[in-house]
Amino acid sequence: MNGKCEHQTFVGKIDVVRISDSMPMQFRAEISIQCAECKADFQFFGLPIGFHSDNPTTSLGGKYLRAPIKEIPLIGSLESILDNEELTPIEILPNGEIRAKGAVGNTEIVQKPLTMREYLGGEYAN
């Protein structure tokens, strides 16, 4: 090799940080990449700098990509969630309220959907 390295092979390092003071516990991958030949660090860019629990970020200078990660549930645990889900037939009333089908009176209301007017607040609030 003469002159400038053409960066043809790379080595990567992945550390996984366990954020144990969050419930449920969160995990973050910290990834760095170097040229295997000249050892130049490669920079991640195009993401915000710092830490965020829900979105990828980079370290100051971009040497590390910090990406939140979580376990992919096994198919068996997804099936058990579906099996345990309550199946309550519902009806939607003309005023937008949702309640268990056949229920009478206000005490049986399951859920009232959030409307745009309520969500926006501000000038649209009462």
The residues binding Zn ion (CB under 5 A) are 5, 7, 35, 37-38
Minimum CB distance to Zn ion, residue 13 (Å): 16
Minimum CB distance to Zn ion, residue 42 (Å): 9
Sign of CA dihedral 39, 44, 48, 54: negative
Residue type at 89 in one-letter notation: P
Question: Within 10 Å of residue 40's Cβ, how many Cβ atoms?
Answer: 13
CA atoms within 13 A on the CB side of 120: 8
DSSP summary character for residue 118: H
CB closer to Zn ion, 33 vs 67: 33
Instruction: Give the whole-angstrom CA distance, residue 118 versus residue 28.
Output: 36
CB closer to Zn ion, 7 vs 117: 7
Minimum CB distance to Zn ion, residue 9 (Å): 8
CB closer to Zn ion, 1 vs 23: 1
